[in-house]
Amino acid sequence: MGSLLDVPGIRVGHAQRVGDGWLTGVTAVLAPPGSAGGVDVRGGGPGTSETDALDPSTLAQNVDGVALCGGSAYGLAAAAGVQQFLESEGQGFPVVGGVVPIVPAAVIFDLGRGGDFGKRPDTAMGFEAAAAAVGSGQADDGALRGCVGAGTGAVFARGRYKGGVGMASVALPAGPVEGPPGAPEVVLPEGLVVGALAVVNAAGAPVFPEAPPANVEPTLVGGQAPSSANTTLAVVATNAALTPAECKRTATAAHAGLARALNPSHTLVDGDTIFALSTRAVEFEREPDFARQLALFFVQTAAAEAVRLAILDAVRSASTVTTPAGTWEPYPAPPA
């Protein structure tokens, strides 16, 4: 299965509050200096900030982190805390007098699921999540999955089941790969990997290859119709050296994995958003152009699969939660 931490240099941290009216949190994904990023928003009800900064035509060509937050639009305040942490490390876009970290953000709707509509993430919780970020080998991956971070208050299948955070990775094949007819082989470098982290708070139900999709009837959560309170968020990252434009196209391709894992997806009532990061650590052949195309094809295919697996991992990693607003049980997923 793997995890987002299989991409060297990527760090993940969570902060959450549970009890006394709370059921929400923040997930910070921190990228090493010099990383590139892109984003693709497909859902009809997104809540985001700083996504325009990832446009390939903008001034800043690097991204420093991504904040995934509960709290709906209120939770976007947590991204400032992730920025403050990165500033404390000296990482960000250099300006006169200091740095400005580039930290785009997206949110899920979990307002009131802990029992108090006013308990939502803030700047301090964002800083806490970033300060807790760890890389490969620094923590058990299992502690980074489930009802933690931005997945703390997540539910899915029209509010029926408990959602959460999941991760996965896909290693790319190394060595010679057959090129187009009449063209020489393309050699892919060693060590290319694509990882993903997903926060599942979707309107739809999961699609497992081992079992038919569930027929989930609409339910009410906390006295509110959950049809307008859904979103699946994902961060997909790779060590392949991508440009910002290639990161954007990778985010677009990764949405195919979201659509394969959740039915329905990208609806008017979902805010489905995927960020793509490149640490730019591993170069690959770019000449002739078909070599570049082939490498990107492999990276983007792996991105879709990593997102699909991360979503299903989130479903399997969730646990029962009870608050004054209700009880949510895990989805009856088939064994992995």
pLDDT tens for 77-126 read 999 999 999 999 999 999 999 999 999 999 999 999 999 999 999 999 99
Return the ∠ at Cα 306 (arms to 321 and 67), rounded to 5°: 60
pLDDT at 320 over 80: yes
Q: State the pLDDT confidence band at 6, using cuts at 50, 70 and 90.
A: very high
3-state secondary structure of 85: helix
Which residue is listed with tokens 């309170």? 229
State the greatest distance between any 2 C-alpha atoms of the chain, in Å, as a whole number: 67
List the Cα angle 25/26/29 in 5-degree steps: 155
pLDDT score at 221: 40
Q: Residue 278: CA atoms inside 13 Å, Cβ hemisphere, count?
A: 29
Output DSSP code: residue 221. Answer: B
The count of other CB atoms within 10 Å of the CB of residue 54 is 25
Q: From CA 304, how far away is CA 68, in angstroms rounded?
A: 19
Locate 199 and state its tokens.
């926060």
DSSP per position, 86-124: HHHTT-SEEETTEEE----EEE---TTTTB-TT----HH
Residue 110 domain-assigned (yes or no): yes
Tokens 């990252």, residue located: 237
**CATH number of the domain residue 10 falls in:** 3.60.70.12
Mean pLDDT of 257-285: 95
- Could you give the 3-state DSSP secondary structure of residue 84? helix
The fraction of the chain above a pLDDT of 70, given in percent, is 95
Which residue, 35, 23, 32, is CA-closest to 75?
Answer: 23
Please calculate the CA angle 119-149-36 and round it to the nearest 5 degrees.
120
What share of the chain in percent tops pLDDT 90? 83
The mean of the pLDDT values for the chain is 93
Structure confidence at residue 142 (pLDDT): 81
Radius of gyration, alpha carbons of the chain: 19
Q: Which of 40, 25, 168 shows the shortest CA–CA distance to 104?
A: 40
For residue 262, the Cα-to-chain-centroid distance in whole angstroms is 15
Residue entry with tokens 């960000």 = 92
Write the pLDDT tens digit of every residue in 169-214: 999 999 988 877 877 888 899 999 999 999 999 999 999 987 665 5
The whole-number pLDDT of residue 213 equals 56
List pLDDT tens digits, range 110-124.
999 999 999 999 999
Strands 164-171 and 193-201: antiparallel
Looking at residue 228, what is its pLDDT? 60
Range of the domain at 102: 4-327
User: Is the model's pLDDT at 224 over the cut of 60?
Assistant: no
Instruction: Provide the token pair at 67.
Output: 């904040």
The pLDDT score that the predictor gives to residue 335 is 84
- Per-residue pLDDT at 226: 45
Distance separating alpha carbons of residues 314 and 325, to the nearest angstrom: 22
Is 227 domain-assigned?
Answer: yes
Residues in contact with 114: Cβ distance below 8 Å, sequence separation at least 6, in sequence order: 17, 18, 19, 20, 21, 22, 23, 24, 153, 323, 324, 325
In a domain, 250, yes or no: yes
Is it true that the peptide bond before 184 is cis, omega within 30 degrees of 0? no
pLDDT, greater one: 180 or 253: 253
Report yes or no on 332 lying in a domain: no
Q: What is the pTM of this model?
A: 0.95
Tokens standing for 173?
């094949």
Instruction: Note the pLDDT of residue 177.
Output: 85
Look at residue 334 and tell me if it is in a domain: no
In a domain, residue 86? The reply is yes
d(CA 256, CA 218): 25
Q: What pLDDT score was predicted for residue 215?
A: 52
**Cα 317 to Cα 27: distance, rounded to the nearest angstrom:** 16
Position 261 in a domain: yes
Residue 265's pLDDT band (cuts 50, 70, 90)? very high
pLDDT at 308 > cutoff 60:
yes
For the chain, what is the domain count?
1
Q: Does the pLDDT value for residue 220 go beyond 90?
A: no
Residue 333 lies in a domain: no
